[in-house]
Amino acid sequence: SELDLAIRGGTIVTASDMYKGDIGIFDGRIVAISDEITGARQEVDASGLWVMPGGIDSHVHIAQDSGPGIVMADDFASATASAAAGGNSTVMSFALQKRGQSLRQSVEDYRKLAEGECFVDTSFHLIISDPTPAVLGQELPALVKDGYTSFKVFMTYDDLVLNDRELLAVFDVARREKALVMVHCEGYDTIRFLAERLEQEGKVAPYYHAVSRPEVVEREAAHRAISHAQLVDVPIMIVHVSGAEAMEQVRWAQRRGLKVYAETCPQYITLTAEDLDGLGMEGAKYVCSPPPRDAESQKAIWEGLSQGVFQTFSSDHCPFRYDSPQGKLNPKARSSFRWVPNGIPGVETRLPILFSEGVSKGRITPQTFVALSATNHARMYGLYPKKGSIGIGFDADICLWDPKRKETLRQEILHHGSDYTPWEGFEVTGWPVATFVRGKIVYRDGEVLGDRGHGQILARGISEYVGA
């Protein structure tokens, strides 16, 4: 036999199956699956463990430009180390176009930051903030052909917001080029109205961030995005759906046969807006957009996860340091929640949280866990059947998982660049033991293993959800 590696004695879990078997790996790919594989150059004993496709986190912000004086807590090395330690073998990050900048230039800038730095495979979505005729007419079509097959657009934020006319123009290009548009659904004007009123009333603590972005703000934007997508006849992905109201819009669209897909995140099944009340400035640790909602919304999100309303469960890892003038406690943050950078770290804790709250507590099956955390991300963003499952011919991207292991999430065991985790003290059952990327081990038992630069920057194909 010419196998480089055999992973033996584990329980293989895919989006559709769960069975005992050995896996044979050669040249970075899975070349054999059977009851017993012997004679490989190297063997890993997976008895008692689940052998799953490495996690794919399709929504991770790394080293993203975050405005004057604000710096993200992770570079590509630390973010992908953290991803590996969380059982992930691929992350998808964002190349953000600054207004006035060519899209191609933004892609080159972010690629330069990533090249040679990554522990896991990485790929880029494009954030379009300036849809000029050149961007719409030339740059986007060329970039899609180069494997940048998904874009993100924003319905809020001064530096990013697109108006309805611009959204429609981007949707129209996506339809023609068969790209998938991810939409950040929160209304710019509704947030401004509420934020100004709160500030006038002196309600400026981080807690009021969530008050300035209630569910109706997200629901209105979701409905508007869905309507625009219907008008143009283009599939869309509504990212980071936070609660029952926006989810109802997605369900409504799906029942009408519209190709409206949705993602949700760990914060929306574990945190609530009220968690920030009484914390003072420390509430900034939980400030993200959309904000977490309430217990009822968490219940609705679980329904959506088990019933197929959501295709993907991503971290929306968007890390800032708390105790830093370049992070949550920047000089302006005390004057208003509006200046607290939006986002929380989570690439390393996504899988343990979904597994523990979902599989260990009996809310979702192991197969649904794999679909939501890996397989559907590959299908959604054009990496399937290279990645996203355990099968002959797939990249040997594998996570060895201990379904019984209990851990307490805490900052001291994590590998990200943030100085805190929103889940400090959160108890989980189920834990990643090892991560392989194309047949090479990149993480084992608490330690990220050498070879930074093993992670490749991936071009992607057309989304299966967009279709031919």
Residues 57-96, interacting with ligand DUC (CB under 6 A): 61
DSSP H stretches of helix in 256-375: 267-270, 295-307, 350-354, 366-370
Could you give the string, one character per residue 254-293, with x where binding to ligand DUC holds by CB under 6 A and - elsewhere? ----------------------------------xx----
Nearer to ligand DUC, 122 or 342 (CB): 342
Out of 292, 343, 430, 439, name the contact with ligand DUC by CB under 6 A. Answer: 343
Q: Which does 342 bind (CB under 5 to 8 A by kind): Zn ion, ligand DUC, none?
A: ligand DUC
Q: Residue 53, preceding bond cis, omega within 30 degrees?
A: no
Q: Please tell me the count of residues contacting ligand DUC according to CB under 6 A.
A: 9
Residues 293-322, interacting with Zn ion (CB under 5 A): 316
- Is the distance from CB of 373 to CB of 313 less than 8 angstroms? yes
- Shortest Å distance, C-beta 263 to ligand DUC: 10
Output b/e per residue, 296-325; b: 16+ Cβ within 10 A. Answer: ebbebbbebbeeebbbbbbbbbbbbbbeee
- Shortest Å distance, C-beta 429 to Zn ion: 27
- Shortest Å distance, C-beta 223 to ligand DUC: 19
| Cβ neighbours, 10 Å, residue 2 | 10
User: What angle in degrees, to the nearest 10, is found between the helix axes of 295-307 and 244-255?
Assistant: 30
Q: Which does 454 bind (CB under 5 to 8 A by kind): ligand DUC, Zn ion, none?
A: Zn ion
Nearer to ligand DUC, 194 or 288 (CB): 288
Of 146, 163, 145, nearest to 154 (Cα)? Answer: 163
Out of 314, 342, 375, 376, name the contact with ligand DUC by CB under 6 A. Answer: 342
Nearer to ligand DUC, 152 or 460 (CB): 152
Q: Is 242 a residue that touches ligand DUC (CB under 6 A)?
A: no
- Is the distance from CB of 225 to CB of 167 less than 8 angstroms? yes
Nearer to Zn ion, 104 or 184 (CB): 184
Structure tokens at 218: 């997200």
The single-letter code of the amino acid at 151 is: F
| HSE (side-chain half, CA atoms, 13 Å) at 367 | 6
Q: Is 186 a residue that touches Zn ion (CB under 5 A)?
A: no
Q: Is 184 a residue that touches ligand DUC (CB under 6 A)?
A: yes
Cα distance between residue 348 and residue 217, in whole Å? 29
Contacting residues toward ligand DUC, per CB under 6 A: 61, 184, 240, 288-289, 316, 318, 342-343
Contacting residues toward Zn ion, per CB under 5 A: 184, 316, 451, 454
